[in-house]
């Protein structure tokens, strides 16, 4: 396990997440992920800590409104989202593009058809 730090572009939102070093990421084709280019990994909510920026967070939901797409009200970046998996477990979707000093080139990218859900 390793603790990673991430943030939005302006630094108003900062977080830590403890997880196994990711070797693969998900690229979703839903309308929001496709437009923002997110590369996602998932961690239990208990492994995630919002370090700063609670007041800077905006929340956007669409469709079935099961996922809270969090974004920075200042710079607009979407560093993470949260919701529940199919079994009701609270999860956080981490946008690896917002994780500091993470090498994206070594990832296997798996496609997910969120547009059909």
Residues 66-76 pLDDT 10s = 888 899 999 99
pLDDT value, residue 115: 81
pLDDT value, residue 84: 86
Bridge partner list, 7: 14
Question: Which residue ranges of the chain lie beneath pLDDT 70?
Answer: none
**Domains defined along the chain, listed by start:** 2-116 (2.170.150.70)
pLDDT value, residue 20: 94
The alpha carbon of residue 80 and the mean position of all alpha carbons in its chain are separated, in whole angstroms, by 3
Question: Does the pTM exceed 0.85?
Answer: yes
């Amino acid at each position: 396990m390793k603790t990673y730090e991430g943030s939005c572009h302006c630094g108003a939102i900062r977080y830590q997440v403890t997880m196994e070093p990711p070797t693969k990421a998900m690229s979703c084709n839903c309308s929001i992920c496709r437009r923002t280019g997110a590369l996602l990994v998932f961690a239990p909510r208990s492994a995630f800590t919002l370090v700063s920026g609670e007041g800077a967070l905006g929340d956007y939901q669409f469709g079935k409104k099961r996922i809270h797409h969090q974004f920075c009200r200042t710079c607009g970046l979407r560093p993470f989202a949260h919701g529940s998996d199919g079994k009701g477990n609270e999860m956080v979707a981490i946008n690896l593009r917002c994780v500091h000093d993470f090498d994206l080139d070594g990832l296997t990218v798996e496609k997910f058809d969120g547009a059909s859900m």
